[in-house]
Amino acid sequence: MTDSSISVANESAIACDTDALRDLAVFLLDRLRLHPQCELAITIVDEAPMTDLHVEWMHEPGPTDVISFPMDELRSADEGQEREPGVVGDIVMCPQFAAVQAVERGRTLDQELQFLATHGFLHLIGYDHMTLDDEAAMFALQDAVFAEWQAGLAR
């Protein structure tokens, strides 16, 4: 499996493990049954650009941890179904915002960014948490997939 269709750019002043984020994206494409050549962009930005995105797209003030921009409305393939290539979308994360959450959650900044990338990826493929049922389904999958990722790193 190649990851040439995955771009990870750190445009922030904070050092982050972009290689791990790229590896995570490859893992997520496979684990969530999307075509390995799907395009995905992950961008890490400082608080000012994240605030601009949050205001423009979510109509909420201040920065946030992660924003997802789905493109081709791709979904996980069913078992045995052919996986369709396409553009999954963009995930934008803010390490300054994530750093506060990392401390609260007992994670390193890189672990928190990986968790947020998992959350953002699920949004890209149609998951949401607007209702309690949707939240329960999304968060259960998010926690399971992230735990699998973490277990793979521990080997």
Q: What is the CATH number of the domain that holds 27?
A: 3.40.390.30
End-to-end CA distance of the chain: 20
- Provide the domain limits for residue 69: 6-154
Between the alpha carbon of residue 5 and those of residues 47, 70, 88, the distances in Å are 27, 15, 10
pLDDT at 128: 95
Q: Which two tokens stand for residue 47?
A: 């608080």
By three-state DSSP, how is residue 123 classified? helix
* CB 123 within 8 Å of CB 70: yes
Q: Tell me the per-residue pLDDT of 25-37, one tens digit each, with 9 for 90 and over.
A: 999 999 999 999 9
Query: Do the domain assignments include residue 147?
Result: yes
pLDDT at 29: 96
Q: Which two tokens stand for residue 76?
A: 């996980």
Query: Do the domain assignments include residue 112?
Result: yes
The residues of the chain scoring below 70 in pLDDT are 1-4, 155
| Calpha distance 111→89 (Å, rounded) | 22
Query: Do the domain assignments include residue 21?
Result: yes
Query: Do the domain assignments include residue 1?
Result: no
Q: Which two tokens stand for residue 50?
A: 């994240």
Query: Do the domain assignments include residue 119?
Result: yes
Query: Do the domain assignments include residue 141?
Result: yes
Q: Domain tally for the chain?
A: 1
